[in-house]
Structure 1
Amino acid sequence: MSVTLKGLRAFNTVLRYGSFTRAAGLLNITQPALTVQIRQLEMGLGLKLLDRTPRGAEPTAAGRELARSLEPLLQELDHTIASLQDLAARRRGVVRLAVLPSVASGLLPGAIARLHASHPNLQVRVREAVTGEVYEQVRSGQVDFGIATDLQPGGELSLQRLFQDQIMAMLPPGHAMAAMPLIPLPALAKERLLLLETNSSIRQLVDDAFARTGHIVAPAQEAVHTGTLVSMARAGLGIVLIPSSAAEIAMAPELAVRPIGHPHICRTVSLICRSDRSLPPSAEALVETLREVIDHSADGGRAGA
């Protein structure tokens, strides 16, 4: 007969309180059921562990030897179980994600703030990266998940759509195109453009869109961060092409922002995960919160339309 955790807990409880009657009450079982559990444990070990005396239950020599190591083992097991239950209930944990800079500065801060309000002990570790690096960090297991534009992920990665936005033109002060409700893409090819560097997914979308209209654009300035380009636009150095979800749009209300048309330049931003791994509960909590923020933003946009 095998040794069970239930039998070990029964033995430990009887030993701690020195009474079958009291131990049965604490374990919420009958005294005969407790006696059966102790006998099964003794049969599994092939040793007598407890003697019943007029003073109660006393350990045998074998029982004392088992007791020396059993109590700390059960305490460690209880601690581990409680810790796992905390993880499952999202009371603690660390989320690691790799994310596009435009999302890191746009939608993500609001999602993290909302997560902290409902799960204050969850920690979020953010790594900003361009799309290719996001995929690689997810693939290598450096992060729990990524947020990036769509690529061909391969069998080990899966994509779940989060949202779609479009590239907008942010105009320097007093620019004539501010009078236009929609700016044709070919017209932008003649302007001084402020673009992200070529390794960004936004730049690749922009270059591809211009190429489809027969234009190859040499930007007036390039930068790693959208905020740098917006500052250049404020100084009158050119037009920034920026995603509609970028936080920098709200941070520069004095600059006119217009949609681009004929063709529109759109991007799909997705959740990138390993196909062969489940998200930990803490990461699931952040994903759920991020979707709530996205839905709220979409509802706000429709209400304002």
Structure 2
Amino acid sequence: MELRQIRSFVVLADELHFSRAALRLHIVQPALSKQIKALESELGFSLLSRHQRGVELTAAGRVFRDQVEVMLRRLDRAVDLARATATGRAGALDVGFVRAAMWSVLPSALRDFRLATENIEVRLHELSSATQLQHVRDGLIDAGLVRLPVHDDSLDFEVIYSEPLLVALASNHPLAGEPRIDLAKLANETFLLLPRRGEPGFYDRCVAQCYEFGFGPTTVEESRGFAAILGMVGIGMGVTLLPSSTGSVGWPNVAVRPLSRASIMLDLALVRRHEPVSPALDRFASALHRAADRLVVRAN
């Protein structure tokens, strides 16, 4: 049974006239008659009752028409969705992210992406950078927003947004009133940082920033999340370094200040597999870049 035969039958069932149906199908009448006879032969029953004035559907023909019309609509919908997915206009994306991305590029990018591609669902997964790399490799997520530097030759990394480090200290700390902090003055403080095993790039950037101010930090890896770390900072348990996007959030009893001579930038990158190419993911990456550009304009 050929799809062409079924489509020809549906047109004929609509017209109930071989000549008019053949004209709509852009074929000659004998060819249409041959298709319908072949279809009836394969089905084993008559679809049409032929007479001098034209044709009528048999009872079986009416049932068959109703069912195949539903099938053809679903088939056409499937083709449309598949074509839209192939061109990045429909489907679903599973995207991992570090929390700082939600305080920087991610909300704006999601709004843009949703307006431009309303048929694509984005499913978000808050994960550490290390976990995201493994999930992307294993195909559990399509892409992730991770902190660089991380290295994996099997994956592609695309820098989306760069931001400076800020220092956070208790609001009653002696240095909290200074507009900019000389990090060297905090050399004897305890630094509360995210665990290196989950965020190696971020951890190493923080340590490198301290070394640029002439000291190696005394670090305590207390928590996997900034909310808990900044809660501890607020009660005087230590100080921390954090991305500027995270510092823009109001944290109780915490003063967030720029560094006096910061030179290290934090890179947020989109990570994905080399193949297959995903038009939807390309569109999402473009939305992320536009969101990052807007942040840079506002910062300047």
Q: Same fold (TM over 0.5)?
A: yes
| Selected match of 1:54 from 52, 55, 61 | 52
Q: Does residue 1:146 correspond to 2:140, yes or no?
A: no
Q: Does residue 1:196 correspond to 2:194, yes or no?
A: yes
Q: Deviations over 1:133-172 (max 9, x none)?
A: 11111111111111112322223x2112211122211232
C-alpha separation between the residues in 2 aligned to 1:22 and 1:39?
12
Aligned position for 1:172: 170
Fraction of identical pairs, as percent: 23
| Selected match of 2:78 from 69, 77, 80 | 80
Aligned position for 1:275: 274
Q: 1:221 to 1:58 in 2, by over 3 A?
A: closer
C-alpha separation between the residues in 1 aligned to 2:84 and 2:182?
54
For 1:206, the aligned partner's letter is C
Q: Deviations over 1:113-137 (max 9, x none)?
A: 4444555554332111121111111
* 1:96 match: secondary structure: strand
The answer to whether the Cα contact below 8 Å between 1:4 and 1:41 also exists between their aligned partners in 2 is no
The answer to which of 283-292 and 233-242 deviates more is 283-292
The answer to which of 36-45 and 285-294 deviates more is 36-45
C-alpha separation between the residues in 2 aligned to 1:64 and 1:300?
65
Q: 1:129 to 1:138 in 2, by over 3 A?
A: same
Query: Where do residues 246-257 of structure 1 align in structure 2 (5 Å cutoff)?
Result: 246=246, 248-252=247-251, 255-257=255-257
The answer to which of 222-231 and 7-16 deviates more is 7-16
Give the structure-1-normalised TM-score. 0.76
C-alpha separation between the residues in 2 aligned to 1:132 and 1:198?
9
The answer to which of 105-114 and 135-144 deviates more is 105-114
Aligned position for 1:225: 225
Give the structure-2-normalised TM-score. 0.77
Q: 1:88 to 1:36 in 2, by over 3 A?
A: farther
The answer to whether the Cα contact below 8 Å between 1:222 and 1:229 also exists between their aligned partners in 2 is yes
Q: 1:270 to 1:216 in 2, by over 3 A?
A: same
In the comparison of the two structures, how many residue pairs are matched? 292
C-alpha separation between the residues in 2 aligned to 1:255 and 1:63?
78
Unaligned stretches of 5+ residues in structure 1: none
C-alpha separation between the residues in 2 aligned to 1:53 and 1:36?
16
Aligned position for 1:241: 241
C-alpha separation between the residues in 1 aligned to 2:260 and 2:223?
21
Aligned position for 2:94: 96
C-alpha separation between the residues in 2 aligned to 1:274 and 1:213?
37
The answer to whether the Cα contact below 8 Å between 1:167 and 1:260 also exists between their aligned partners in 2 is no
The answer to whether the Cα contact below 8 Å between 2:98 and 2:128 also exists between their aligned partners in 1 is yes
RMSD: 3.9
